[in-house]
Structure 1
């Protein structure tokens, strides 16, 4: 059943991406500008969206417009990200991965017979995953933060598989509140790295926009990205 839902969900996303890239989407009052990608100030992404399990619908909800109080979240990203805390332990305090909070909790889950996302089923898999993140962190530190088409999806640890048709839109995902604030949805590793390394701006993809924001015809405060990298031009977002 789960596999069937995943196939149906991917089919819908593929259709949306193709229609979006061809400029054939008919925007309605409940659906607008999916897969909008642009540059946002890293410091402006402070809070986590209040929608239920938004990471599960990070693709299928693209372009939707929703009302409600999900945009009134008071959860700060830096206070509610176990990985952010663990990256500080690793990169600023010099701790071994095995001593970090994120590693310990996941290792315990594996020892109790659980399996982590990305099919990490052993301590060795988990350690490989973390060491892969070391490489991503060092690459950003030494070469700057790049958009997905420049790195061909290599900004995800080895345990995660990104389907090719999603790759050029696989940036940090954010929702847009009624006041135009960008609320974190997905891409916690990259956002954490950007904050720790003081990256001024990063590429983001918008997922859900609050209906009051759309009703007031406000513009999202992100900058267009050059079309040469395969992203859509964003003349007025």
Structure 2
């Protein structure tokens, strides 16, 4: 099931509904829906016009925005979208950045920076094999969570 914010963002920017007609109205009263809708609209326009920026880049370029947009984190660099990696390499949203993630999906942005919060033990075993230069299943050869270890391996050659 899709989270309310992700559903509302899709309803607004893909389906063309007003914020009052989206899933936000299931959670908030009308003034809060308008306020949150305006904030999300601003973020959407910023990402659409300027591209998705990592928290590191945002902190470097616009520290006031980086610090003022903290929701869950104590420092902007800890406010990157956090994901878990499932046993078969599934990338699962964990915390931080649900609005940014939903907007990136709506805008068809293929790659965004994330922090890996935790990895399933079976997935970590695949990473460990890749790090040691051992063979890994072909379907994982281009998995984004293996880029760092596979790059290390090719640099050693």
TM-score normalised by structure 1 residue count: 0.48
Partners of 1:140 and 1:206 in 2: CA distance: 22
Residue of structure 1 in register with 2:113 after alignment? 203
The offset of 1:157, in angstroms, is 8.4
Partners of 1:139 and 1:80 in 2: CA distance: 24
Residue of structure 2 in register with 1:131 after alignment? 38
| Aligned residue runs from structure 1 range 58-137, under 5 A | 79-101=1-23, 103-107=24-28, 123-137=30-44
Deviations along 1:95-135, one digit per CA (max 9) or x if unpaired, are 2211212x212225xxxxxxxxxxxxxx5344222211111
Find 1:141's aligned residue among 41, 48, 55: 48
CA contact (8 A) 2:5 2:98 kept: yes
Let me know the Cα RMSD of the aligned residues.
3.0
Partners of 1:198 and 1:141 in 2: CA distance: 10
Find 2:104's aligned residue among 194, 212, 220: 194
Larger relative contact order, structure 1 or 2 (CA cutoff 8 Å, min sep 6): 1
CA contact (8 A) 1:89 1:100 kept: yes
CA contact (8 A) 2:10 2:102 kept: no
Partners of 1:204 and 1:182 in 2: CA distance: 10
Partners of 2:104 and 2:22 in 1: CA distance: 19
CA contact (8 A) 1:129 1:158 kept: no
Residue of structure 2 in register with 1:31 after alignment? none
Partners of 1:80 and 1:159 in 2: CA distance: 23
Residue of structure 2 in register with 1:168 after alignment? 77
| Residues 131 and 183 (structure 1), Cα distance of their counterparts in 2 relative to 1, 3 Å cut | same
Aligned partner of residue 87 in structure 2, secondary structure: coil
Instruction: Give 5+ residue unaligned stretches, structure 1.
Output: 1-78, 109-122, 225-234
The offset of 1:207, in angstroms, is 0.9
Q: May I ask how many residue pairs the two structures share in their alignment?
A: 133
Higher helix share: 2
